[in-house]
Amino acid sequence: MASKQPEPEKNALADVGAWAPPVAVGWLVPGGGHLMLKRPLRAAMLGGAVAITFLLGLLMRGAFFVPQEGDLLTVVIHRGGYIADMCSGLLYFLATWLGYDQPDVAGHVHDYGTKFLAAAGLMNVLAMVDAFEIATGQKD
C-alpha cells in the first residue's frame, strides 16, 4: 500500500513574503536561501556543490551559452543554456564582469566545461526549489 502524503496548505503560495526572499537570495548566492531558513549544513552542501561545479567548468575553459537564432533546436539549446548559466547567480555575473569570455572551441574538455557551467545553474535551481518547499512548509 502506498502511504498518503499530507496535503500542503492551499494558501501556502499566497504568503509571498515567506518564500520569495529565500528563493531570491538562493538564486543570487547559492545556498543563501537555506542560510535565511536557518539550515546552515544544507546551505553549505548546496552552495559548495554549485560553486565547485561552476569553478570546475571555468577551469575546463567552458564557454557560456549565448542566445542564437536559427532552427528550433539551436534556439532551444542556446537560450536554455543561457538561462541555465544565469541561474548560477552571482557566480555567473562575477565571472562575466571580471571578463571571462572563453570562445566556444572544439575539444572534449572545453565541451565538458560548458556543460559543467550550465549544470551548476541547474543545481542552483534545484536548491531554490528546495528553499521554496522549506519556506512554504511542504518540506522539513
> Cell numbers of 105, please?
572551441
- The vertex-122 CA angle with 17 and 86, nearest 5°, equals 75
CA distance 32 to 55: 18
pTM, 2 dp = 0.85
Domain spans in the chain, listed from the N-terminal domain onward: 18-135
> Cell numbers of 33, please?
536561501
Pairwise pLDDT comparison (140 vs 39), residue with the higher score: 39
> Cell numbers of 68, please?
542564437
User: Does residue 137 register a pLDDT over 90?
Assistant: no
CA distance 94 to 130: 24
Contact 114, 65 (CB under 8 A): yes
At 69-109, the pLDDT tens digits run 999 999 999 999 999 999 999 999 999 999 988 887 888 99
